[in-house]
Amino acid sequence: MFLQAIFLPGFNSFFVNVGTLDLILKWLFVIGFGLYVVFAFIVTRQISIMRSTLISTFSYLLTVVGYIHLLIAIIFFLGIILFV
C-alpha cells in the first residue's frame, strides 16, 4: 500500500501525497547522479596524479577515458534534472 502510494501515479493514500513522493524520488535520483558526477571528477583527478607517478604512453588514453566518463556522468545528471 505504501509502495503503491509512492510509485503509482494518481494514487493518493491516507498518509502521503503522490506528487510529493514523486518529487522526493526525483530528488533522490538527482542527488545520486550528482554524487556520481563528484566521483567521476575525483577519478579524473586521480588519473592525473597516477599519470605523473607512472608515465607511459597508455596513461594519455586513460586520461581521455576518465574525461569521457565524467562527460557521460554530467550528461545523465542533466538528463535526470530535465527529463525525469
Minimum distance from residue 78 beta carbon to another protein (Å)? 12
Residue 9 makes contact with another protein by CB under 8 A: yes
Residue 74 makes contact with another protein by CB under 8 A: no
Q: What are phi and psi of 73, to 5 degrees?
A: -60, -40
- Closest listed residue to residue 37, CA positions, set 6, 61, 82, 67: 67
Residue 32 makes contact with another protein by CB under 8 A: yes
Q: What b/e sequence results for 49-75 when a residue is b if at least 16 CB atoms lie within 10 Å of its CB, and e otherwise?
A: eebeeeeeeeeeeeeeebeebbeebee
Minimum distance from residue 55 beta carbon to another protein (Å)? 5
Which residues of the chain form contacts with another protein (CB under 8 A)? 3-4, 7-9, 22, 25, 29, 32-33, 36, 39-40, 42-43, 46-47, 49-50, 52-58, 62, 65-66, 69, 72-73, 76, 79-80, 83-84
